[in-house]
Amino acid sequence: MIRFSRILTACFLILVPADTQAAPAVAPMPAPMPMPMPVPAQPHVPTSRAEISLSFAPVVARTAPAIVNVYAMRAVPQRRQMSLLDDPFFRRFFGGPSGPGFGGPSERLQRALGSGVIVDPSGLVVTNNHVIEGADEVRVSLADKREYDAEILLRDPRTDLAVLKLKGGKGSFPAAELGSSDDLQVGDIVLAIGNPFGVGQTVTQGIVSALARTQVGITDYQFFIQTDAAINPGNSGGALVDTAGRVIGINTAIFSRSGGSQGIGFAIPADMVRVVLQSALDGGKSVRRPWLGARLQRVTADIAEGLDLVRPVGSLVQSVAPGSPAARGGLKVGDLITGIAGQEADDPDAFGYRFATRPLGGDVAVAVVRQGRSLTLSIPLDAAPETIPREKRQLDNRSPLAGATVVNLSPAVAEELRTVEADKGVVVTSVAEGSPAEMTNLKVGDVLIEVNGERITRTDDLVRATASPSRVWRITLQRGGRTLTAMLPG
């Protein structure tokens, strides 16, 4: 089975006869002249290391000190078999299974191992979000064996990136230089540095196999550098380095049948890393990006044929939110977006990445085709506004929605959740494991519209509608562009 995995884990000689022509019939072939014996080349003794081999040692020496190991630990409930200790009578007198005389912790410590890169001398470390997700404690080990506790400054699940801050360090730390992933070309030599399988810092070499891989399905922003450098579990969060020693990507996933390296690895481009890092340097707890305010569709072969396009590339505008940057910039339903800032954008993922890595403020030139005419529009680079307070609520009543956390929907919330279900209402942001809401199959991003005939426009409406018990619950919500209604027992 082939799967995408986040990495927290003959020659043939062919003889071809030469074309020959028939010998002239009027004269015999002349006798062959004796061929001189080749003079063997005189052996040459190498006089320098450069004549012996090509070495990446200078690149590794420059970058490796900034590559770290990241250890993430969290306590998880310990699942136990039912025993007499679970009987209320015994628990009354002897306490729980972890009480006196009945050892055995009710929780166990779960550890995750990944890699990271120091990108600032003050001790800022970039790694993958999935390496430290849910961690109660994070510890970082440097290449010189020093270890530090780390604070999680910023997590960005949408890009699978996180920024850590080393605590207690004195002086400056070795930091790697961030390059520009846009300078890469297919065929460029790259190095992957990390800690695969926990064996210690390891360097592997390969080439850039592809740029702008968009249909990988790992993060919200589908735009990856593909490399054949060996990447394995534990390399997650480590550096993809060019031959100048600059970090041009963060290794994050592999395409594998077995879970190990098969020569297809994916890295988050450095230009996206820079956006997340800048947000952390600015003191933000989340990443603020430009908001387009339009829904885009991939151009298929059938759509291309209907639009009389030579190739099925570009992004077709399906809808434009009123007052959004797209609307203010003149984007219209039916427009075909083909590029941004002078660069091609072959599909919505490529456009989304290019748009998201632009700095806030000012505007950006977007190339579109409208009714066969090529236009350039100036789209404002504004963050999505929070037009209504979130008013976060966690439902803990006796209803099928208990265990869900909801907020009021605004453009900012919709952008964070990558939902385009509605521009207002109440949206689910999390569902507690094992809760009635999970058993009801409620999903993050669901927009709740109505409960037992009561219209839901704010989170307080939902709290009020679910406060009283009911024998039957009628719940209407929007998901995936569809309106769904369910009848559930109370």
Q: Write down the pLDDT at residue 102.
A: 47
Q: What is the architecture of the domain spanning 177-281?
A: Beta Barrel (2.40)
Which one is catalytic: 5, 120, 130, 335?
Answer: 130
Confidence of residue 91 (pLDDT cuts 50, 70, 90): very low
Q: Is the pLDDT of residue 183 over 80?
A: yes
Are 406 and 427 in contact by the 8 Å Cβ rule? The answer is yes
Q: How large is the C-alpha radius of gyration of the chain?
A: 30
Per annotation, catalytic residue among 236, 261, 324, 399: 236
Report the length, in residues, of the chain: 490
Neighbour count for residue 471 (Cβ, 10 Å): 6
C-alpha distances out from residue 195 to 114, 157, 246, 247, Å: 7, 22, 19, 16
Residue numbering of the annotated binding site for substrate: 130, 160, 234-236
**Average pLDDT rounded to a whole number, residues 351-358:** 92
Phi, psi dihedral angles at 132 (to 5 degrees): -110, 5
Quick one: pLDDT at residue 54? 72
Asked if 2 and 255 count as a contact pair (C-beta separation under 8 A), the reply is: yes
pTM value is 0.75
- Quick one: pLDDT band at residue 10, thresholds 50, 70, 90? very low
Assess whether the region 177-281 and the region 294-380 belong to the same CATH fold. no
Which of the following CATH numbers is that of domain 294-380: 3.40.50.1100, 3.20.20.110, 3.40.190.10, 2.30.42.10?
2.30.42.10
Residues 300-323, mean pLDDT to the nearest whole number: 90
36-84 pLDDT, tens per residue? 555 555 556 566 655 555 788 899 999 999 999 999 998 766 655 544 4
Binding residue positions: 130, 160, 234-236
Q: Which of 153-167, 417-431, 462-476 comes out lowest in average pLDDT?
A: 417-431
pLDDT of 93 reads 44
Stretch among 6-15, 207-216, 395-404, 437-446 having the lowest mean pLDDT: 6-15
Strands (DSSP E) found in 160-312: 161-166, 177-178, 189-194, 202-213, 224-227, 239-242, 246-256, 265-269, 294-298
pLDDT for residue 211: 85
Return the pLDDT at 421. 58
The mean pLDDT value for 382-399 works out to 92
Domain ranges of the chain: 177-281, 294-380, 393-489
160 is a catalytic site residue: yes
Q: pLDDT by residue (tens digit) across 26-37?
A: 444 455 455 555
Q: Is 363 a catalytic residue?
A: no
Kindly state the percentage of the chain with pLDDT values over 70.
78
Residue 449 pLDDT class (50, 70, 90 cuts): very high
Q: b/e per residue, 52-88, with b = 16+ CB within 10 A?
A: eeeeeeebbebbbbbbbbbbbebeeeeeeeeeebeee
Task: Quote the pLDDT of residue 106.
Answer: 57
Environment class of 388 (CB within 10 Å of its CB; exposed 0-12, middle 13-18, buried 19+): middle
**What is the pairing mode between strands 246-256 and 177-178?**
parallel
| 156 is an active site residue | no
User: What pLDDT is stored for residue 29 in this prediction?
Assistant: 44
Q: Residue 124 in 3-state DSSP?
A: strand
Domain 393-489 CATH (choose: 3.40.50.10490, 3.40.190.10, 2.30.42.10, 3.40.50.2000)? 2.30.42.10
pLDDT above 90 coverage of the chain, percent? 53
Q: Which of 156, 160, 382, 446 is catalytic?
A: 160
Work out the pLDDT band at 219, boundaries 50, 70, 90.
low
